[in-house]
Chain A
């Protein structure tokens, strides 16, 4: 029973983290029908940023995630300006492939500059802190990251559903031309969507530096999981992404514990394939 609770908690905590990583991707995909292949590398950039802030300035990731979010907001917006805007609508997969090029560029630049070594911040405030809950051990940094994820997700959800900007984003997603006729500057909306998407993954990356090591390949697995989460949840749906991320987190931790650690991602991707074949547009898609 203790094991069960432990595995359940681990699954929920990693699921919430996946939700935050995937939320930005879901937004970009939903509003613009663009897959940002460099999403995992955005995460890596944020992690390196917060790692170096911690290493050089001695600021704890508990605070420097703000810098990660802000920096990645601009990285996202810049990516839109320079790459997405110029490749959108040219060929079917042009934005996807262009961002794949960007991901190669970022990943190998970090490989070249920072070596492939794993880097973990030591001496952070929450380092190694745990507490007992219902017989299970909960890691504090993971819990804090998960709570932040929920807060950020709720914030983005509120922004999209309740504010004028959010309505403009929704309108642009539904029908770009009609939105333009209503006086919405869709160009700015796209820029903003990419910025918000980048900021979400920036916050996630910043928080992750408290308990995960950063290395040039760190983004690869996270971006694959983010793609799966978004496609599973149905594009553009933040609640869908949250639900799918929790599902993926739980599948991962339960198969990792009860079957074998090596097959957990096989199970994750297999579940995805099964669901997507039954509901081709995802659980919450339309």
Chain B
């Protein structure tokens, strides 16, 4: 059993990474309340977000720019439970996930008819609609958003103010969940269905794949996982407002991290987050004397260079060095 688990290299890497990630918070002073702890938490969170997007857009080929809507619904789910109903985020988060899945199916069913750029622009429009609706919806705090009250620390309220190990472990749990789901999909029949739809919907249908069902279920799964990340984000920031969670910029984070790491690959979202999040957090902290927006200038430059030089992202570079041939074929296609 154990030998079977460590059969291939990818498995070894995965469990090795998990072991390090689990041990980290128990080494005193590494996570705690430190800045590194914050960065590590954000890496895990954004990797999980990007991976959730990767299910529908990477594996299934439906490039969605609307994931901040689902992320935002999850964030509002947790925040509404705590702020408006004096309840626990543990009830709000699953409801948010469910709501995101339902909304995603309702939105996607008609939009999947659209092809290429028309689909992409439709998802932009949906983000704008949701953003503005939440801005004027007083029940959810409108433009001011929802501010958390001060609550006692602990898992019950999922909030910590002194040592932030809890947040790190929470992010790690979400990360493991999302990545395990994708690993399961990759090895399962569902994974082949998704890839079949990506490489040719008509062909897949002619072989008996119900492409509408495959796309909708992938979208619902992807949306609910994104909503779970959103719930964590609300807990972590202790507040939520529409521009923070439901904006084109937030949607693009899902996209860009995955693209930088490698679209449609298992490791891509993690690699992308490992590069972009430290860049974002450390430039914000240490290059602030250069003025506002330096992190985003560097970010933009990296995206341009990656898209020009290696659209397969970091995975493409790794493949180039490990298996020169495959990377070349896919990269130049």
Contact = CB atoms under 8 A, between A and B. Distances in A.
A112 B291 contact: yes
Contacts of A95: 307
Interface residues of B, number: 49
Given A262-B132, A270-B129, A277-B110, A108 B122 contact: no
Interface stretch (B9-17, B74-82, B164-172, B293-301): B293-301
Interface stretch (B144-152, B251-259, B269-277, B317-325): B251-259
Given A108-B296, A280-B115, A93 B124 contact: no
Given A87-B307, A111-B293, A269 B301 contact: no
B290 to A, nearest CB: 7
Given A35-B117, A231-B117, A265-B132, A101 B303 contact: yes
A134 B113 CA distance: 45
B308 A87 contact: yes
Main secondary structure of the interface of A (DSSP, over half): helix
B302 interface: yes
Contact of A262 (B136, B263, B300): B136
Nearest to B307: A98
A269 B125 contact: yes
A104 B129 contact: no
A83 B166 CA distance: 44
A29 B117 CA distance: 9
A102 B304 contact: yes
Interface in A255-286: 260, 262-263, 265-266, 269-270, 272-273, 276-277, 280-282
Given A83-B304, A104-B299, A277 B113 contact: yes
B301 A96 contact: no
A216 B252 CA distance: 18
A273 B299 contact: no
Interface of B: 61, 63, 110-111, 113-118, 120-122, 124-126, 128-129, 132-133, 135-136, 248, 252, 255-256, 259, 263, 290-294, 296-297, 299-304, 307-309, 311-312, 331-333
